[in-house]
Each structure stands twice: as structure tokens, then as C-alpha cells.
Structure 1
Amino acid sequence: MRKNILFLCFLLSSCGAVTQEELNARLAQINRRIEKLEEEQRTIRAQQIKTEERVDALSQNLASLRLEVERLRVEGRTSLPQPIPSKPENVSQSQPAKVEGQPRTQPIQPEPFVQRPQEGQRGVETLSPDYEKEYKSALDLYNLRQLNQAKEKFIEFIRKYPKTPLTDNAYLWLGVVYRDLGDNVRAEAVWRTLEERCKRGEMVDCNKLPSAYLQLARLYEAQGNNEKAREYYEAILKEFPLSEEAEVAKKKLGR
């Protein structure tokens, strides 16, 4: 900056006779413009920081709302009354005949209720509704910030129920638990495992994959690995362009 001012002074002096007062006035005018531009630059930078903070706050609020929706959805499903087995057709209502060696009054035990695979969901295991309760139990532990207990519960759930509509949810939240515990290495490994299992077609449902992508992008961004973070932001836009995570990715990529 000083070199530019000296060059300007030389240029003015070479163009004709300029009094010291005129030179000082021009220099003062230039300095005022420089100060004004620097002030505008500081203002723009402050506004940018506020905007980034606002985006981060909105992202956190969005994550909290998603957690609340997830909790209510699981509670709603687990609170539904279990279906009562219907009586077989064309069966006599009279008392069954006494069988040798078996008391006549012994009740007939109904078959346990199991969830049948829905159409289009290949590979869904025949499951008891207990898996939803166990998932909710792990999620409740996380909400109570009992992170170590939640970690064990989610790990147990994944081992016990490798193919359910909630297994991808368990992978996502297990990674979140590890992250909150400060173990980013394991958090990354869990989210990458979910990604790989989804790509190999080993999961019944992968609706939490865009959230896992977003968590990985933020993790790499926090580590200063902007190239890897950009890779996952791009993956969100390419594979899940209509998702809520895509809106966050657009802002991060300036689109």
C-alpha cells in the first residue's frame, strides 16, 4: 500500500507543479477511501460470520427436530395394540376331546405374533415387535445422555437385528454416540459401514444414508479435510437431490 502511495506521489509530481497542500489533500482523500474500503471489508466479513453461524444453528435445530420426530414415530409404532389372533374358520366351538396324558383344561397357546415382510422388502427377517421396543430403549438412553449405555444398546441391536427397517437408524445413531463421546475414528467407521452395506444391498432400508453422508461431510470438514467433505456433499446432491440434507449441501457448496 505504501509503495502505491509513493508511486502516486511520483506520478502527480511528474504531471506538473503541485503544491504541498494539494498533494496532502489528495493523499488524505485517498487514505479516507482506503479506510472506508477496509471498514466495508470488515463489515462484510462480520456479516459472513453471522450467516455461517446462523446456518450452523439452523442445522443443529434441524437435527434436534429430526430426533424428536424419530422419537415420536418410534413411540407411536410401539404403542399400537397388538393384533388378536382370529379364530380359525370351520372349527367347532365345543370343548376339545380329552387327549391321553394331557389335562382337558390345559389352554391352547396361541402362536406368537410376528411381523411379516412387506411387499418389496426382500430379506426382511420374521421379527417380533420387540425389535422396535429395543431400538426405542437405545434411543431413549441417548436422549438422556447416557452415552455409554446407549452405545452398548445400539451395538446389541445391530448384532441381534441385522436386517430390519430400523437397522440403518441404529447405525446412524451409534455413529452419533461415538461422535458425542469424542471417538471420531469409530464414528467414521460406523457411518462408512452403513454406506458400504447399503451399496452392497445388505440393508432392508437405507433412508438414513443421506444423514450419514452429512455427518461424514461435517466430520471431514471439522478435520480440515475439505476435499473429502466436498465429496460427500456432492454425493448427497447426486444420490438424494430431494432430501433435506441436499439443502444443507447446496449451501455448503455455494449453489
Structure 2
Amino acid sequence: MNMISRCFSVRRPASGLRLLGLLLAATAVSQPVSAQTDNPLLYEVLDRLELLEREVRQLRGELEMLQYRRQQQPDTMPSPAPAPVVPVTPPPSASSTTSPLSSLPSTQASTPSGTPPGSDVQSAYDSAFASLRSGQYEQAVSQFEDFLRRYPDSALTPDAYYWLGESYYVLRRFEQAQQIFLTLGADFPRSDKLPDAMLKLGYIYSETGDIPRAREMLQKLIDVYPNSVAASLGASHLRSLP
């Protein structure tokens, strides 16, 4: 039994990227080796492919932020029943890897609610979130890391972990993003960001070529949180996997 079994946006436009990949392959095959590096069409296809991938990551981040802002609005509907606790533990290979936040004070899963945010805490969080929302991802990483060092027990700490992982994800720093999302699940198993973290872990495993683990994580998400937006996105991505 592996890690996912023990523990615990927008569908990627695979057809467009695959079409570009086929065009790229056809272009490369049709040209002599000596001419491939000087082919303007080859460079144009590569540039467009990179741009599309960047836009997909940004759109996923924007979707997450829209969902977050909607959750912050007053809700007149009855609160749903508490979500089941689904603890997350790192895979064996991750235990020997230094966490990108290893220097931070450890958080306690026994106090998920944390300390109510004061004006300074809220201001620091809002500033980091504003950087993320405006596309300043490197700055957002720095600000969220600083927030977690200064306010490890705040009620906003679980969300700060999630948005830090999101910032790493958009920057394609998948190893760091994976560690952050796993930390969120391990230390805050009742966080309402857990379904989104599981979705992003599924994306990361897919992006890094670990399709079996991606399938297992996304299926776990669907089974545990079947009515969540994350589960709907996960089901769509699961159907697109080879």
C-alpha cells in the first residue's frame, strides 16, 4: 500500500498541445539534421507551445483565486457537514528530501484553527495574495514563506501553505510544490483547501510523468470529496490521462 492509499484549473487543453507536438515532430522529421536548428517554423512552434503551457498554468491559478474570493463572501446557505479527515504522508522518496520550508517552525495538526488573524497578520497575508493575483509569483513565494515564518499558528496558515504551493506550481517548481501540498495535508487535515491540494498533486504527478500516482490521487480526491469543484476538475483530468 503506497502513500496515496494510506492518506489522502481547468482541464488542460491536451488536444491543442498534442496538435502542436505533432506539428513540431512533423517539422523536425521533414527537415535535414543540418537545417533543423535554423528552421524558423520550428522555433515558432516551440515558442507557441511554451506560451500555451504558461497560459494554462496561469488560468489554473486564476480559477483557484476566483474560487477563494467566492468562499470569502458571506454565505447564506447552511454549512456542509465536516469533511472527513484524510491525512497525507510524503512518499518514501520524499522523506529523504529537505523540505523547502524546513527552516520554518513546525505547525501542529492538533490546532488547525490557529490564532485568529490580527490586523498585521491579515495585512501580510493580503499583500502576499495580491502578489500572486497580479502574477508576481516569485515575490508571492517570498512573501508567503515570510508569512509562515512569522505566523506559524495563524488561522490563515493553512491557506498560506496552499497559495505558496500554487505559486511554486505556476513557476513549474514541482518538487517544492509537491512538498508544500503534502505538508498542508499532513499538518492541516481538516483544511478546506485539502481537495484543491489533492487536485494539484494529481496535476503535478501527471506533469512529471508519474501517471499511476496521478490516477490514484485524482481517484482518491473523487472518492473522498465527490461534490467538490476540485473533484469535478479531477475527473475531467483523469479522463484525459493516457
Q: TM-score of the superposition, structure 1-length normalised?
A: 0.52
2:203 paired residue number: 218
2:166 paired residue number: 176
| Partner Cα distance (1:177, 1:67) in 2 | 11
Residues 44-63 of structure 1: pairs in structure 2 closer than 5 A:
49=15, 63=61
1:144 aligns with 2:134: yes
1:234 paired residue number: 219
1:185 aligns with 2:151: no
Shift of 1:59: 9.6
Q: Percent identity?
A: 27
Shift of 1:180: 2.6
| 8 Å CA contact retained: 1:71, 1:139 | no
**Higher RCO (CA < 8 A, seq sep 6+):** 2
| Partner Cα distance (2:211, 2:227) in 1 | 23
Per-residue CA distance 1:188-236 (angstroms, 9 max, x = gap): 111111111124xxxxx51111111111101111111111101210221
Secondary structure, aligned partner of 1:224: coil
Shift of 1:249: 2.2
Which entry has the higher C-alpha Rg, 1 or 2? 1
User: Which amino acid in 2 is paired with 1:241?
Assistant: P
Tell me: CA distance 1:69–1:198, structure 2 relative to 1, closer, same or farther (3 Å): closer
Per-residue CA distance 1:100-125 (angstroms, 9 max, x = gap): xxxxxxxxxxxxxxxxxxxxx87532
1:158 aligns with 2:148: yes
Q: TM-score of the superposition, structure 2-length normalised?
A: 0.54
Aligned length: 157
User: Which amino acid in 1 is paired with 2:15?
Assistant: I
Tell me: CA distance 1:70–1:248, structure 2 relative to 1, closer, same or farther (3 Å): closer
Tell me: CA distance 1:123–1:59, structure 2 relative to 1, closer, same or farther (3 Å): closer
Stretches of structure 1 lacking an aligned partner (at least 5 in a row): 1-47, 78-120, 200-204
